[in-house]
Structure 1
Amino acid sequence: MAADVPTDLLSIADELYGLPLPEFTPARDARAKALKGTPLAAQVKALRKPSTAAWVVNLLVRRDTEQVEQVLTVGAALREAQAAMSAEELRALSRQRRQLTAAVTTGARRIAREEGTKVTQAVADQVEATLTAAMVDERCGLALRSGMLTAALASTGLDPADVEAAVAVPDALGFAAPSRDAEPPARPDLRVVPDPEADTKALAAATEALEEAEAAVEEAAAAHGETTSAVEELEARSLQLQAEIAELRSKIDELESSAEETDDELSEAEDARAETESELAAATRARDAAAAALAKLRG
């Protein structure tokens, strides 16, 4: 086996889940066949083909790693900050989070289209749900970043998600799929064929290609503008919440200090009360004795 061919399950899975979707099964079976007679053969053969939504997310992780890292970073900051939010603030946070995941999903659909796969709205909804799960649940974020999802994720952040069932191998959690550029298009088989309309056809093809490229640029620019706006809003909100949390922590420290001082004063007051109770009891006994002596003399 060539020295540059991966020979451990995690590396093999990373390679397979980064392939175009139609190539997954034949590549997996070929790799399992090449490993026949080794313990890895059965493990590779058992790797599940990703769903279309999972494949789109895996592609996004590799082709737009920076955007995915932003989603995970903002998600982590918001998870830490949301404990101090009011109901109204939580609703605003949910809207901002939806804006971000919707914008990133638009980018994921564009990348998939560049790979020759048209993403339906149903698949796009699953992609967006996976991005949301990664923002609200840390383990879902780890599964997303692995680039080895076999199924879409869903989580509200309240109950733990079954992420192990959605990744190719258990070791994928904690693995970060490397960034990969798009594969260059295959070089066509050029043949010299006389064509009197060649120049006209070439001009028409070039014009159409330019129009498609300009449309793609506009779409990408719009998606980038949406994601940038959403990230900026969420970053500002995160900073505001961090400041509010710091202020509350400072207030808690002051209240704890006041509580300690009050406890000390209370202890001293209780000691003084005990001392005065003892003095009152002694004075009462002395008075009663004096009254009894006076009564005896008069009697």
Structure 2
Amino acid sequence: MSDDEPGLLDVADELYALPLGEFTPARDARAKALKGTDLAAPVKALRKPSTAAWVVNLLVRREAAQVEQVLAVGAALREAQQGMSGAELRELTRQRRQLTAAVTTRARALAREEGLRVTEAVADQVEATLTAAMVSEDCGRAVRSGLLVAALATTGVDDVDVAAAVATPDALGFAARPTTAAEPARPDLRVVPDEDADEKARAAAQERLEETEAELAEATEAHDEATAQVEQLKARQLQIESEIDELKRKIAALEETYDEVDDDLGDAEDAVGEAAEALEEATSARDAAAAVLDNLSS
């Protein structure tokens, strides 16, 4: 390969900057064009990114400065947390969550501009990836590459196979090239009669109806799941309340028994005192009788 020919990272950088739906056909076409070269097989082997990984890659390219700020803050926090108290670490975690949540919101907006609706599940993976980038330097390098194929997650103490989460191990240390959103094409303002306008309008309306019905079904499913969870929690709450009441009854019964035993203990202690006095008197009487007997026998 000559110096003018692109390397694998250059090709990957172009492919992973494409809309998610265009990745596979563009990769296959590029591999076919490279047939007979050393790059053909590696390009063909490039994996399609998961939705969450694609959203993070998009964020890295569109908001490079913001991502670099997140990584810089992560590095500063990693250094600052040495020697922190538990309360300070909890506050640090809270601040980190606020930052990753805000950046995730921006990432979802960028994806929406590209025509991709990001679900809550995918958003959670995006936020987990950003958190991993702040917690782990290696994860930060993977995110900066813009060549993620899978979401990342780490607590900071576990080992993460970062190389498996990027398109190629060489991506670690690579920085994605920033891109901008494509300018919308200027419409042709000539007035041209469209004989199929009504049919197109009906088709567009039908398509929109199907989209909204799908969104409604998804929202209904989410609502039903949330409602079911609420009912389960309510049932569990009632069960716990019942168990608490039963424990209270048992405690009350035990307290009553304790009082009875305490009274009996007092009576028993009094009886011991009285018995001790009687024992002492009996011992004295016996000793006196024994002395009299000794005098009579001598």
Same fold (TM over 0.5): yes
After superposition, what is the alpha-carbon deviation per residue over 1:120-162, rounded to whole angstroms, capped at 9, x for unaligned? 0000000000000000000000000000000000011112211
Partner residue in 1 for 2:18: 19
Relative to 1, partners in 2 of residues 1:15 and 1:162: Cα closer, same or farther, differing over 3 Å? same
Give the Cα–Cα distance (whole angstroms) in 2 for the partners of residues 32 and 58 of structure 1.
Answer: 22
Is it true that 1:47 corresponds to 2:34 in the alignment?
no
Give the Cα–Cα distance (whole angstroms) in 1 for the partners of residues 20 and 147 of structure 2.
Answer: 13
Deviation at residue 39 of structure 1 after TM alignment: 1.4
Partner residue in 2 for 1:78: 77
Partner residue in 1 for 2:134: 135
Partner residue in 1 for 2:98: 99
Structure index of larger Rg: 2
Partner residue in 1 for 2:117: 118
Give the Cα–Cα distance (whole angstroms) in 2 for the partners of residues 176 and 64 of structure 1.
Answer: 13
> Is the 1:6–1:12 Cα contact (8 Å) retained in structure 2?
no
Partner residue in 2 for 1:272: none
Is it true that 1:35 corresponds to 2:34 in the alignment?
yes
- State the secondary structure of the residue aligned to 1:83: coil
Q: Quick one: higher RCO (CA 8 Å, sep 6+), 1 or 2?
A: 1
Deviation at residue 5 of structure 1 after TM alignment: 8.6
Give the Cα–Cα distance (whole angstroms) in 2 for the partners of residues 102 and 20 of structure 1.
Answer: 23
Is it true that 1:177 corresponds to 2:165 in the alignment?
no
Give the Cα–Cα distance (whole angstroms) in 2 for the partners of residues 6 and 158 of structure 1.
Answer: 41
Relative to 1, partners in 2 of residues 1:183 and 1:17: Cα closer, same or farther, differing over 3 Å? same
Deviation at residue 119 of structure 1 after TM alignment: 0.4
> Is the 1:54–1:127 Cα contact (8 Å) retained in structure 2?
yes
- State the secondary structure of the residue aligned to 1:73: helix
After superposition, what is the alpha-carbon deviation per residue over 1:80-119, rounded to whole angstroms, capped at 9, x for unaligned? 1101110111101110000000000000000000111110
User: Which amino acid letter does the alignment assign opposite residue 185 of structure 1?
Assistant: P
Give the Cα–Cα distance (whole angstroms) in 1 for the partners of residues 36 and 140 of structure 2.
Answer: 36
Partner residue in 1 for 2:61: 62
CA-based RMSD: 1.8
- Percent identity (aligned): 77
Partner residue in 1 for 2:159: 160
Give the Cα–Cα distance (whole angstroms) in 1 for the partners of residues 154 and 40 of structure 2.
Answer: 33
Give the Cα–Cα distance (whole angstroms) in 1 for the partners of residues 3 and 183 of structure 2.
Answer: 21
TM-score normalised per structure 1: 0.62
Deviation at residue 186 of structure 1 after TM alignment: 3.0
Relative to 1, partners in 2 of residues 1:103 and 1:6: Cα closer, same or farther, differing over 3 Å? farther
Relative to 1, partners in 2 of residues 1:26 and 1:190: Cα closer, same or farther, differing over 3 Å? farther
Q: Which runs of 5+ in 2 are unaligned?
A: 195-298
Q: Which runs of 5+ in 1 are unaligned?
A: 196-299
Tell me the matched-pair count.
Answer: 193
After superposition, what is the alpha-carbon deviation per residue over 1:229-268, rounded to whole angstroms, capped at 9, x for unaligned? xxxxxxxxxxxxxxxxxxxxxxxxxxxxxxxxxxxxxxxx
